[in-house]
Structure 1
Amino acid sequence: MAELGPRAGSPAVHRAARVLSELAAHDEALSVSELSRRLGLPKSSLADLVGVLVHEGMLARDLDARVRLGGRIRLIARGLVGGSPLLEVFARACAEVRELEGRTLVLAVLLDLDAAYLAVRPGARPLPLTLRPGVRLPAWSTGTGRALLSALPHDAVERMHSGWVPESPSGHPFRLRELLDSTALARARGYASNAELGEMALAGTAAVVQGLRGCVAAVGSIVALDEPGRADGDTDAEAVRTLARRLAELIEA
């Protein structure tokens, strides 16, 4: 894999970051040989680096010697959700809300102007876009992102989007007034939706997960626009709000 230009700092740190990013982008464990091929790094030096990351708990090694993200990554990720055990209880809460059975469910936080996905519960039906932990999408064009923005003051959202704004993956034009209207509506009704945009042929419905200090994340369902039984953007609204409340209960318990 070609480098994008000179970078400051330790080359080993950059290589470690690339290893972690590559594993975060895939659900399956990978061998050192596969990582070497994907990253364009020498297998011998990569094996030494992987060994250090395993020792530090950043990676875990399976019985067949393949590696995946380790338990320490989850502890670090707690910093993104206010130090709460939100990632640990996400799967449990999803399973408890039976109305969302078969739906793709996501947990996201706001990073700059993006919704960054920390956890994904795949649904029964494949989506046009494969969502994995680590994926970032423009907050203004996604249901989870709009929910996260709705937790901020109106003027803060306006200031954040007064300059450069990330482009929609589907080419939808950004309109500040439409974003402000959508976040105001989300505050009023307790959930957000991007169904009218049809971003990447998907519709997302999301609600804020409240912690002791306010919003810690947003949880949402994502469905294909042509999914059978999807009546409109509000189809999963009450169930998603129930899921957000359940997550709040679990992290405060």
Structure 2
Amino acid sequence: MATGLRRTLRPIRPLQCILGPPADVPFRARSHGTAQLYPEHIPTSPLQKVLLAAGSAAMALYNPYRHDMVAVLGETTGHCALKVLRDQMKRDPEGAQILQQRPRISLSTLNLDKLQNLPEGSLGREYLRFLNVNRVSPDTRAPTQFVDDEELAYVIQRYREVHDMLHTLLGMPTNILGEIVVKWFEAVQTGLPMCILGAFFGPVRLSAQHLQVLVTELIPWAIQNGRRAPCVLNIYYEQRWAQPLQALREELGITDPPIHVG
């Protein structure tokens, strides 16, 4: 299973920004005008951010599977929410450790064979099962480019890389219904505008039957769980691979979905 995942999953091509390459300037820890703050950073003016946000929002609404456009939207509209999330992480011992050590979740950092050999029902084993069943890869998460603060850039990168972990925790597949349910959970948890936008406008593509199930059962469940659970960015998942998934759900107050979403 682990070997198959390596062969079949490939990362998407990074977003090619029309703004051109960033200037060759040294790395800094905080924004000072147009300085490049981290290797992938593309400095942008407020006007450029507005234009990027508008264009990416339109494209993301037209095609929710354009993850590159969703990523740009999150980066250009999420500054205030990211500061709140960063502060929540700093106040939590596990979250503060994550901010200090900056772990990354990718095929290059995951030991797939080790995850495969974990006990049945463990977080790591179930996460690997999710990746294989849904044919997704953690490497499809685009690098942060437009966040003008190095620490906040890591926060949104971490959010992207634990997105599939949230699918695993919530028991949601990667079909459009499952993605919308996760977006409602994330909207409550993070307050990121892109999550709120996806939660409200994602359902327009659903059939009447799925829409009824979403509104009457799945959205209330996602909101309730999102409010009850502590900040999911404060979980050092890499140190909890062997923890039973059900035990982690109970720790976070996440209940079983009211219906099976296939």
| Higher normalized helix content (fraction of residues) | 2
TM-score, length of structure 1 as denominator length: 0.31
Q: Which has the greater radius of gyration?
A: 1
- Higher RCO structure (Cα 8 Å, ≥6 apart): 2
TM-score, with structure 2 as normaliser: 0.30
